[in-house]
């Protein structure tokens, strides 16, 4: 049997996903790897919950795994299986519709709604949503663009298509859009359920379908380095992504289940059910020995692309048509680490240079060239981590972020077996001179074993202290707090001495009880004495109750959580203040226009502007049109008048960012605060604004 080189080359494309709905691909190219995944067929497991256990109730299931391990293939297999049982499946490839660097919950929900509306047209179901048409009208107004609205409900998908195309080329507009959609997330969820999903399920059952399933793929492609930005999507206390009134499956980042937030993800997004994990094919055991079963599966993944119409035994008999020996094929499988995209990329490189069969010498030359390019991405810090891991076989807690990044870049692979998970260095790197045992000398970095924060507090504020400690540890910081770390039998004075001297920074939880206590002052004073000028920020005061600061404490800027009743707002403020520089994400406005007098640029305490009386307005229900009109008025204000407005409304320090942050961002922050239960209300904002405009003539 001869090889069809054109077809073989197309099948070896590492960027090609096997499409389960395409019979030739599905029947001939798929290799079942469940044997090395504990015998678990994840497509069948995910489908069982929907088909057999809870067919008439909304469900939310999670799938994760290594990039390139075959998640999309399994999700498409799941789609085919669900459709065989009568379900209508909508498959959403996130990267096609969303900017993965700036995605938010509201954007995901809107993408789902528009994709469902678009897809149902294929079964002659047309859905209308008056709210979504109005939403797009508001987006047009806010962004000052035209999406060519036809006022036809079935064209919502076209409006969304035009919007996403526009946003991809206009990052500044995307930020404004993101801010607006964030404020509308709860409304979007409610309307999607009432005007789209409920009706869709009813109409589908009328034509004999069992119900609606939405598969959201590619959310696992979010950048690990931006994890703090997209993490709230998956641990949303309001659990909005799992409140859709249909069956939904999300493909989520593997880093989520390897972080301290894994339990929150399981509870808030998975509803108490852990994500299913799809592993790559292991080529070795924990002991380092070759894993024959894994190698045999990888052989089939290669040979099936050359001989898709042959069975497994026949393919092995034809191996000499592709390689000079079975050992050469095994060499290719082993060096890939079980990562199929790497396996196919090496095979494609071989095909680019010559026709098969490929000799061992030729394969080694291709591997050598591939390795030389692969290691160009590795810097000294990466080598230090890899060498340390190669020698010690463990990952230190402080190196977990480096581990995640190394996994994302294919420097380290994560495998699973009956005893759990384990890590191994990419075989390509193990053959480099830097990792050969005779040359393995770790260039050790001077390590700073100090923990990040010591929490100093009075017992009356223990709940605040523990909430702050918990929040910071979720963000990856290391903490010492006496209620968790000073256990029975320890010397309290010595432990306090170690805490104050053995941490980088001390957080002082300020309240009247703290300031009046005898033993709290030495704790903050020790941090202050190490850095009296505040260059290293060794002392971080956090005010949780009204209290008068005198002496040295009065001159140190504090994080103010007084009156903050919204946990998400408090978390955001805390993390932002502790995360280092407050550099904005976008370039500042040019100061030559509408510049603000220097004396108005920094506010150390909330002060009411004396020229304007402050008063509470009457409660009213604000329409979307009224809110947008108010937003546009605020955006058009000169900077000095905007400052007057802020002084009069007295939002908590830090809620509205100071210049030179763009005024659109400041407006969003102000209105978002005003709409909260602790805010002043939009009516009051409008009244003060009118006072300012009238006084200016």
Does residue 644 have a pLDDT over 90? no
Domain assignment present for 313: no
The answer on 421 and 554 residing in a single domain is: no
Smallest Cα–Cα separation from 372: which of 431, 314, 307? 431
CB 358 within 8 A of CB 323: yes
Query: 402: pLDDT confidence band, cut at 50, 70 and 90?
Result: low
The answer on 240 and 114 residing in a single domain is: yes
- Examine the fold and report which residue of 390, 411, 439 is the final residue of a domain before the chain moves on: 439
The answer on 464 and 425 residing in a single domain is: no
Does residue 591 have a pLDDT over 60? no
Does residue 21 have a pLDDT over 70? no
Does residue 153 have a pLDDT over 50? no
The per-residue pLDDT for 347 is: 96
The answer on 508 and 399 residing in a single domain is: no
Does residue 176 have a pLDDT over 70? yes
- Mean pLDDT for 355-366 is 95
The per-residue pLDDT for 652 is: 74
Structural domains of the chain, count: 4
pLDDT higher at 1 or 634 = 634
Domain assignment present for 179: yes
Output the domain CATH number for residue 538. Answer: 3.40.50.10140
Q: Mean pLDDT over all residues of the chain?
A: 82
The per-residue pLDDT for 660 is: 60
Structure confidence by residue, pLDDT tens digits, 465-506: 999 998 888 777 889 999 898 888 888 888 888 888 889 999
Query: 395: pLDDT confidence band, cut at 50, 70 and 90?
Result: low
- Examine the fold and report which residue of 578, 611, 633 is the final residue of a domain before the chain moves on: 578
Domain assignment present for 359: no
The per-residue pLDDT for 541 is: 94
Query: 18: pLDDT confidence band, cut at 50, 70 and 90?
Result: low
Distance CA 72, CA 70 (A): 6
Does residue 443 have a pLDDT over 60? no
Query: 344: pLDDT confidence band, cut at 50, 70 and 90?
Result: very high
Domain assignment present for 642: yes
- Mean pLDDT for 436-457 is 65
Mean pLDDT check: name the lowest of 319-323, 433-437, 616-620, 676-680.
Answer: 616-620
The answer on 631 and 550 residing in a single domain is: no
DSSP 89: E
The per-residue pLDDT for 581 is: 59
Does residue 599 have a pLDDT over 70? no
Distance CA 259, CA 238 (A): 21
- Mean pLDDT for 53-67 is 92
Domain assignment present for 673: yes
How many other CB atoms sit within 10 Å of the CB of residue 177? 22
The per-residue pLDDT for 1 is: 76
The answer on 393 and 430 residing in a single domain is: yes
DSSP-derived pairing of the beta strands 503-510 and 539-543: parallel
The answer on 639 and 546 residing in a single domain is: no
The answer on 416 and 525 residing in a single domain is: no
Structure confidence by residue, pLDDT tens digits, 39-53: 788 899 999 999 999
% the chain with pLDDT above 90: 33
Query: 179: pLDDT confidence band, cut at 50, 70 and 90?
Result: confident
CB 348 within 8 A of CB 13: yes
The answer on 215 and 69 residing in a single domain is: yes
Domain assignment present for 88: yes
Distance CA 411, CA 387 (A): 12
> By residue range, what is the domain housing residue 401?
378-439
Element (H, E) at 506: strand 503-510
Does residue 149 have a pLDDT over 60? no
The answer on 206 and 88 residing in a single domain is: yes
Does residue 23 have a pLDDT over 60? no
Does residue 590 have a pLDDT over 80? no
- Examine the fold and report which residue of 439, 463, 485 is the final residue of a domain before the chain moves on: 439
pLDDT higher at 66 or 541 = 541
Element (H, E) at 214: strand 211-217
- Mean pLDDT for 672-689 is 82
Domain assignment present for 531: yes
The answer on 49 and 179 residing in a single domain is: yes
- Mean pLDDT for 551-574 is 83
Domain assignment present for 344: no
Distance CA 439, CA 431 (A): 11
621, with CB counted inside 10 A (0-12, 13-18, 19+), is exposed
The per-residue pLDDT for 672 is: 78
The per-residue pLDDT for 648 is: 82
The answer on 683 and 555 residing in a single domain is: no
Six-digit token string for 231: 């993490």
Does residue 387 have a pLDDT over 90? no
The per-residue pLDDT for 28 is: 80
Output the domain CATH number for residue 81. Answer: 3.40.50
């Amino acid at each position: 049997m001869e090889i069809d080189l054109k077809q073989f080359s197309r099948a070896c494309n590492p960027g090609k996903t096997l499409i389960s709905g395409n019979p030739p691909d599905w029947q001939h190219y798929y290799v079942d790897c469940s044997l090395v995944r504990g015998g678990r067929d994840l497509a069948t497991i995910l489908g069982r919950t929907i088909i057999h256990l809870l067919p008439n109730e909304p469900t939310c299931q999670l799938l994760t795994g290594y990039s390139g391990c075959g998640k999309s293939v399994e999700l498409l297999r799941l789609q085919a299986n669900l459709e065989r049982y009568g379900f209508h499946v909508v498959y959403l490839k996130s990267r096609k519709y969303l900017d993965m660097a700036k995605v938010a919950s509201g954007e995901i929900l809107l993408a789902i709604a528009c994709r469902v509306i678009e897809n149902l047209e294929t079964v002659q179901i047309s859905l209308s949503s008056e709210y979504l048409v109005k939403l797009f009208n508001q987006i047009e107004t806010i962004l000052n663009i035209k999406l060519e609205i036809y006022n036809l409900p079935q064209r919502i998908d076209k409006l969304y298509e035009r919007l996403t195309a526009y946003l991809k080329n206009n990052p500044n507009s995307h930020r404004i859009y993101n801010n607006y959609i964030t404020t509308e997330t709860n409304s979007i969820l409610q309307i999607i359920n009432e005007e789209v999903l409920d009706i869709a399920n009813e109409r589908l059952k009328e034509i004999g379908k069992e119900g609606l399933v939405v598969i959201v793929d590619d959310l696992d492609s979010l950048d690990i380095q931006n994890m703090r930005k997209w993490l709230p999507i998956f641990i949303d206390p309001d659990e909005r992504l799992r409140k859709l009134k249909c069956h939904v499956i999300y493909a989520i980042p593997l880093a989520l289940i390897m972080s301290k937030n894994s339990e929150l993800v399981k509870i808030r997004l998975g509803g108490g059910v852990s994500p299913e994990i799809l592993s790559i094919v292991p080529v070795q055991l924990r002991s380092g020995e070759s894993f024959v079963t894994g190698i045999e599966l990888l052989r089939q993944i290669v040979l099936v692309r050359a001989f898709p119409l042959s069975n497994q035994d026949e393919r092995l008999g034809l191996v000499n048509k592709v390689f000079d020996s079975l050992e050469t094929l095994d060499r290719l499988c082993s060096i890939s680490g079980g990562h199929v995209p790497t396996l196919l990329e090496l095979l494609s490189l071989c095909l680019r240079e010559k026709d098969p069969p490929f000799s061992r010498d030729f394969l080694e030359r291709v591997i050598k060239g591939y390795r030389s390019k692969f290691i160009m991405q590795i810097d000294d810090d990466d080598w230090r981590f890899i060498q340390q891991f190669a020698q010690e076989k463990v990952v230190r807690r402080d190196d977990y972020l480096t581990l995640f990044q190394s996994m994302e870049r294919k420097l380290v692979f994560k495998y699973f077996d009956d005893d759990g998970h384990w890590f191994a260095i990419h075989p390509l790197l193990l053959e480099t001179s830097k990792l050969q045992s005779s040359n393995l000398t770790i260039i050790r970095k001077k390590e700073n074993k100090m923990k990040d924060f010591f929490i100093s507090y009075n017992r009356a504020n223990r709940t605040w202290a523990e909430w702050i400690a918990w929040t910071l540890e979720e963000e990856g910081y290391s903490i010492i707090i006496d209620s968790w770390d000073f256990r029975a039998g320890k010397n309290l004075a010595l432990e306090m001495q170690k805490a104050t001297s053995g941490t980088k920074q001390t957080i002082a939880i300020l309240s009247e009880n703290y300031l009046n206590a005898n033993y709290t002052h030495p704790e903050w004073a020790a941090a202050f004495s190490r850095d009296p000028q505040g260059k290293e920020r060794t002392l971080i005061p956090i005010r949780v109750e009204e209290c008068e600061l005198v002496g040295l404490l009065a001159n140190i800027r504090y994080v103010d959580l007084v009156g903050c009743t919204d946990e998400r707002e408090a978390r955001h403020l805390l993390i932002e203040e502790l995360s280092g520089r407050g550099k904005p994400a976008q370039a500042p406005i040019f100061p030559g226009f509408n510049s603000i007098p220097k004396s108005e640029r920094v506010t150390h305490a909330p002060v009411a502007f004396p020229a304007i009386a402050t008063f509470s307005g009457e409660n009213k229900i604000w329409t979307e049109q009224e809110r947008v009109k108010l937003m546009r008025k605020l955006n058009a204000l000169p900077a000095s008048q905007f400052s007057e407005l802020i002084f009069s409304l007295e939002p908590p320090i830090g809620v509205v960012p100071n210049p030179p942050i763009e005024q659109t961002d400041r407006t969003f922050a102000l209105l978002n605060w005003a709409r909260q239960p602790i805010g002043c209300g939009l009516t009051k904002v409008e009244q003060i604004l009118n006072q300012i405009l009238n006084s200016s003539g």
